[in-house]
């Protein structure tokens, strides 16, 4: 080797030409130091072990074991494109399934007789491949219009379709030609399901389970079910329950395949959606508006609520989608009817102006009892309306109601959809018996069979956490409940400046005040007599809720010398008073006054004690603490802050209402029973908190800074060395964002306060909105509080567990599903489960 080469890079400088001159407009690129390079994204942690504390128990769960016979085949994924004859893409939902069924029926031999799993939109799956990578077909569908899911087609006569026009309509609309393209997109090994069960999840796993879910959805669709995400609803009167306002609760089922610690399982649960009351349109409007007869209906409101709903029209039994209402009532609404066999000089059919009423009664011989004086339903296009008298129109069943429910409807839905554990198990067993999944050809072709028995799982029953009340007295909750009778509070407050606002005509406020003062004394709360009892004037009771609250506040402000410490509000109704929202908003948002509402129907000492527990906590007192509060493993020795985070969104109908991010944070370490709260608004429907760290110049306006400074000042000038975050309400697909976006903001907020500060983090997601339920074997009761499950139906690899911490007194207990995404502190499974149980 030549010596010049040994010096590396051919070290003979004179042999290289000089570098070219640097142009004047070049901006040098800054070399990034290593630290600034992209940080490694965090992934949810794997399970380190399972817990062993507590008494071992066996419970049943609504997961049904699934066996996968063949594992060497593939699901083939094809993308589907649908076009009309003239090349326009098909936009209406619901027609897709009909078209694909027709393709399968017409071209079975070209498709090698394969069964399809079709999601109703753009994806289609087969077991094994189709003969070619790309297939193009043309199919003709008869009777597109009367498809339950597709009311897009509408008659295009100007005015009402008469007999002759209806024949023409039938020809032009009821047979439609579609072009279908099916192109290969990907292949998914069935092996991916087996890998997932060994804890080796891949992209393919989720896809393979999605195919199985689509097969079941398709199975339900073929039975005429309404499909809502992973749930399906049969058109069966027995499953409907009236919740008021023309809305029905409809009971159906959720189903999803899940890879679990104990193998593949099908999770089936009862689920509920809201649908529009089927039947005559007028009956729906009367119920919806609580009107006494059709002549007192508000038609502007009616037009809004009816738009896009599907109706069947008698006597033709054709199905249409409502596009609006006629401007005038049926007797006065004119349209141009074509004259049979008469043409003008241009060769066009002669027309005559006639009312809709006259047309239906005299030309079609259909008797109309009450529609003459009501608007007609329009099912035509904006420029070419088609009017039908309202009494000939009936709403089709299984149409979802997606607007926000009012308070009464919500209460009614909750009450009517409750099921005791035993009833829920019976309903699920019946579903599995009648669904006949064993005969589903797609499942059979990949060797999938589903057990019809609830899965037995091993759980543990944790001891209830001991509580400490006033005077250092300890007591143990029984069956998830405890009672403060004859017990003092740990830190009772004193109530000095307060008053009563009485909206209820039926009670004696002075008697309530005396009883409250007496009960307060028994708990250690010293309550002075109120400044006054303000009684609503009789003439104000007919005003709208907001105005009633305003009037009451005017009265209180005119009499009180200054802002009160506390206001007690007596509401007129036992439940769901419409004064509650406006009253809370006025007190809390506008004035920052602590308030307690009560409905004085049955006022006894137990009721008033429960009321005082709330009042004491709101005024900064402390009712009880955990006995082990100062000796919790891993938490009491090292300054630790506990955070709870959630985002709540407007109801589905309100797309422009800001979402609210809320964070509660513990204070006064080593206590974990005292919290403060912070809220911020953020963009509508944004699930990730974006206001934890909000730098603006040298300041940080974020929530975390508030929480950390409060912890520091209330915990003897100590910074937390450990930060435990409980995050509510995010789905598995968002775990990585919690770990890499939200946690990053928390870390930045810490660094902003002190660059050298490096606390350890624990991040736990708590999910309530899932479909796993547990049942006691051979008992009609709910599982006992303290039941924990951390194997079998848990994730094959990730660190998760289910905990039922509370007594299920009504309905079926809904366990909380905890996912430990990160644990830098190093909790054992037992210590972490005990901590969560104690915090509950």
Contact 240, 248 (CB under 8 A): yes
What pLDDT was estimated at residue 441? 86
Global confidence as pTM: 0.84
* Pick from 756, 689, 672, 690: nearest CA to 719: 756
Average pLDDT over residues 637-653: 87
Is the pLDDT confidence value at 820 over 60? yes
Give the domain ranges of the chain: 70-145+174-223, 279-396, 492-621, 626-839
What pLDDT was estimated at residue 32? 57
Is the pLDDT confidence value at 8 over 90? no
CA distances from 784 to 343, 576, 650 (A): 83, 30, 34
Q: Worst-scoring range by mean pLDDT, 81-85, 319-323, 341-345?
A: 341-345
What pLDDT was estimated at residue 144? 54
Cβ neighbours of 772 (radius 10 Å): 20
What pLDDT was estimated at residue 625? 85
Residue 317 pLDDT level (bands cut at 50, 70, 90): confident
* Pick from 318, 321, 320: nearest CA to 308: 321
Residues 6+ apart with CB under 8 A from 12: 4
Tell me: the pLDDT tens digits for 491-544?
Answer: 899 988 999 998 876 778 888 899 889 988 888 899 999 988 888 888 888 888
Tell me: the pLDDT tens digits for 188-216?
Answer: 988 888 777 776 777 788 888 899 999 98
Average pLDDT over residues 714-718: 92
Is the pLDDT confidence value at 140 over 80? yes
Contact 785, 807 (CB under 8 A): yes
Residue 276 pLDDT level (bands cut at 50, 70, 90): very high
Under DSSP, is residue 285 helix (H, G, I), strand (E, B) or coil? helix
Residue 7 pLDDT level (bands cut at 50, 70, 90): very low
Structure tokens at 749: 């907020």
Is the pLDDT confidence value at 737 over 70? yes
Cβ neighbours of 382 (radius 10 Å): 8
Residue 433 pLDDT level (bands cut at 50, 70, 90): confident
Domain 626-839 has CATH 3.30.420.10: yes
CATH code of the domain made up of 492-621: 3.40.50.2300
Q: Worst-scoring range by mean pLDDT, 80-94, 321-335, 449-463, 821-835?
A: 80-94
Sheet of 455-461, strands arranged across: 675-682, 659-666, 640-648, 722-728, 760-767, 816-823, 800-804, 787-789, 455-461, 55-61, 774-776
Contact 285, 291 (CB under 8 A): yes
Residue 147 pLDDT level (bands cut at 50, 70, 90): very low
Sheet of 498-502, strands arranged across: 533-535, 498-502, 566-570, 594-598
Tell me: the pLDDT tens digits for 763-786?
Answer: 999 999 899 999 998 888 898 899
Tell me: the pLDDT tens digits for 408-424?
Answer: 888 889 888 888 999 89
DSSP string, 548-603: HHHHHHHHHHHH-SS--SEEEEE-SSSS--TTHHHHHIIIIIII--EEEEE--SS-
What pLDDT was estimated at residue 367? 87
What is the share, in percent, of the chain residues with pLDDT greater than 70?
91
CA–CA separation, 692 and 699 (whole Å) = 13
CA–CA separation, 72 and 75 (whole Å) = 10
Residue 152 pLDDT level (bands cut at 50, 70, 90): very low
What pLDDT was estimated at residue 15? 62
What pLDDT was estimated at residue 38? 66
Tell me: the pLDDT tens digits for 528-586?
Answer: 999 888 888 888 888 888 999 999 988 888 888 888 889 999 988 766 788 888 989 98
Looking up tokens 């209180």, which residue turns up?
A: 556
DSSP string, 457-512: EEEEEPPPPPEE-GGG-EE--BTTB---TT---SB--EE-SEEEEE--SSS-HHHH
Q: Worst-scoring range by mean pLDDT, 5-14, 596-605, 662-671?
A: 5-14
Residue 685 pLDDT level (bands cut at 50, 70, 90): confident
CA–CA separation, 250 and 655 (whole Å) = 24
**CATH topology (fold) of 279-396:** paz domain (2.170.260)
Helix, strand counts (H, E) of the chain: 19, 43
Mean pLDDT of the chain: 85
Most confident residue range from 507-516, 604-613, 819-828: 819-828
Structure tokens at 240: 């409907």
Contact 532, 475 (CB under 8 A): no
Residues 6+ apart with CB under 8 A from 696: none
* Pick from 167, 206, 163: nearest CA to 188: 206
CA distances from 163 to 366, 387, 397 (A): 13, 15, 27
Cis peptide, bond prior to residue 670, ω within 30 of zero: yes
């Amino acid at each position: 080797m030549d010596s010049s080469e040994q010096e590396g890079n051919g070290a003979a400088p004179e042999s290289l030409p000089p570098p070219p001159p640097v142009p004047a407009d070049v901006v040098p690129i800054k070399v990034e130091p290593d630290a600034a390079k992209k940080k490694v994204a965090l992934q949810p942690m794997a399970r380190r072990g399972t817990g062993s504390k507590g008494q071992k128990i066996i419970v049943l769960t609504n997961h049904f074991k699934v066996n996968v016979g063949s594992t060497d085949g593939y699901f083939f994924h094809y993308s589907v494109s649908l076009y009309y004859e003239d090349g326009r893409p098909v936009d209406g939902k619901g027609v897709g399934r009909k078209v694909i069924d027709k393709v399968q029926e017409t071209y079975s031999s070209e498709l090698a007789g394969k069964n399809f799993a079709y999601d109703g939109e753009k994806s289609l799956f087969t077991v094994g491949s189709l003969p070619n990578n790309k297939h193009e077909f043309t199919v003709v569908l008869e009777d597109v219009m009367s498809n339950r899911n597709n009311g897009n087609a509408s008659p295009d006569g100007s005015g009402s379709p008469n007999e002759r026009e209806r024949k023409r309509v039938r020809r032009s609309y009821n047979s439609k030609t579609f072009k279908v393209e099916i192109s290969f997109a990907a292949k998914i090994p069935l092996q991916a399901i087996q890998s997932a069960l060994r804890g080796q999840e891949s992209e393919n796993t989720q896809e393979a389970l999605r195919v199985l879910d689509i097969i079941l959805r398709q199975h339900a669709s073929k039975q005429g079910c309404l499909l809502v995400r992973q749930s399906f609803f049969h058109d069966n009167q027995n499953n409907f329950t009236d919740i008021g306002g023309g809305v029905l609760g409809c009971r159906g089922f959720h189903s999803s395949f899940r890879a679990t610690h104990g193998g593949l399982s099908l999770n089936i649960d009862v689920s509920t959606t809201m649908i529009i009351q089927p039947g005559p349109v007028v009956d729906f409007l009367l119920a919806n508006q609580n009107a006494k007869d059709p002549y007192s209906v508000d038609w502007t409101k009616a037009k809004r609520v009816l738009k896009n709903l599907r109706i069947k029209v008698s006597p033709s039994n054709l199905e249409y989608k409502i596009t609006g209402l006629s401007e005038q009532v049926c007797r006065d609404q004119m349209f141009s009817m074509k004259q049979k066999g008469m043409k003008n000089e241009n060769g066009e059919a002669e027309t005559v102006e006639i009312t809709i009423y006259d047309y239906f009664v005299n030309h079609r011989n259909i008797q109309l009892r009450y529609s003459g004086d009501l608007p007609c339903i329009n099912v035509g296009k904006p420029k070419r309306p088609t009017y039908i008298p309202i009494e000939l129109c009936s709403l089709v069943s299984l149409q979802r109601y997606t607007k926000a429910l009012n308070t009464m409807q919500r209460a009614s839905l909750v009450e009517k959809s409750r099921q005791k554990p035993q009833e829920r198990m019976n309903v699920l067993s019946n579903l599995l018996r009648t669904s006949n999944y064993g005969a589903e050809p797609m499942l059979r072709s990949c060797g999938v069979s589903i057990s019809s028995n609830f899965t037995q799982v091993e759980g543990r029953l944790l001891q209830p956490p001991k509580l400490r009340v006033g005077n250092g007295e300890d007591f143990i909750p029984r069956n998830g409940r405890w009672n403060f009778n004859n017990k003092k509070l740990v830190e009772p407050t004193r109530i000095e400046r307060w008053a009563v606002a009485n909206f209820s005509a039926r009670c004696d406020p002075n008697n309530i005040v005396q009883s409250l003062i007496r009960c307060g004394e028994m708990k250690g709360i010293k309550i002075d007599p109120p400044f006054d009892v303000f009684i609503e004037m009789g003439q104000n009771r007919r005003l709208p809720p907001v105005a009633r609250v305003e009037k009451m506040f005017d009265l209180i402000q005119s009499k009180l010398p200054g802002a009160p410490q506390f206001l007690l509000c007596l509401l007129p109704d036992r439940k769901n008073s419409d004064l509650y929202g406006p009253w809370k908003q006025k007190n809390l948002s506008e004035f920052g006054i602590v308030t307690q509402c009560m409905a004085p129907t049955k006022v006894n000492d137990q009721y008033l004690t429960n009321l005082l527990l709330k009042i004491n906590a709101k005024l900064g007192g402390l009712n009880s603490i955990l006995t082990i509060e100062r000796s919790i493993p891993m938490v009491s020795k090292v300054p630790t802050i506990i955070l709870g985070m959630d985002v709540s969104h407007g109801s589905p109908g309100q797309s422009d209402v800001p979402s609210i991010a809320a964070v509660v944070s513990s204070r006064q370490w080593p206590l974990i029973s005292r919290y403060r709260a912070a809220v911020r608004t953020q963009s509508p429907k944004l699930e990730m908190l974006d206001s934890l760290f909000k730098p603006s110049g040298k300041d940080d306006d974020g929530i975390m800074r508030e929480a950390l400074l409060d912890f520091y000042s209330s915990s003897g000038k100590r910074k937390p060395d450990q930060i435990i975050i409980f995050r509510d309400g995010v789905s598995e697909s968002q775990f990585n964002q919690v770990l890499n976006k939200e946690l990053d903001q928390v870390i930045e907020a810490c660094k902003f306060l002190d660059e050298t500060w490096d606390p350890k983090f624990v991040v736990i997601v708590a999910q309530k909105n899932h479909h796993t339920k547990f049942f006691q074997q051979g008992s009609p009761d709910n599982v006992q509080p303290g039941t924990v499950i951390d194997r079998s139906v848990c994730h094959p690899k990730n660190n998760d567990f289910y905990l039922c911490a509370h007594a299920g007194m009504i309905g079926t207990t809904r366990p909380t599903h905890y996912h430990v995404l990160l644990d830098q502190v190093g909790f054992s499974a037992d210590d972490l489960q005990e901590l969560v149980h104690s915090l509950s």
